Amino acid sequence: MPALQIDNWICIMTTGGTPAPVIARLDLEIGKAFGASRDFAMAFAKQGVDIVHMSPQQLWQILHSETGRFNSLLEHTQLKATAK
């Protein structure tokens, strides 16, 4: 059932309304930090984690895609979301 493949991922976000120049600077500095140290990447690789830096636009596309995918899957199940 390929539609049920679930990947774990972590992303860094900021609050809505953050000015574009601030987001661009954060993206630049985060990209530098991830690429600056081979030891950093290797520490994650030993745990089976690949570090992939993507632009804010690429992240938005993934979040949008995954939200749609899971909403579609849930619509075809008997599962119901409940708030506590």
- pLDDT, one tens digit per residue, over 6-51 is 777 888 889 989 999 999 999 999 888 887 778 888 888 899 888 8
pLDDT score recorded for residue 37: 78
Would 7 be classed as within a structural domain? no
Would 84 be classed as within a structural domain? no
The parent domain of residue 66 ranges over 14-75
Quick one: angle between helices 38-45 and 20-36, nearest 10? 80
Question: Number of structural domains, the chain?
Answer: 1
Closest CA to 31 of 7, 61, 51: 51
pLDDT score recorded for residue 17: 94
pLDDT score recorded for residue 81: 63
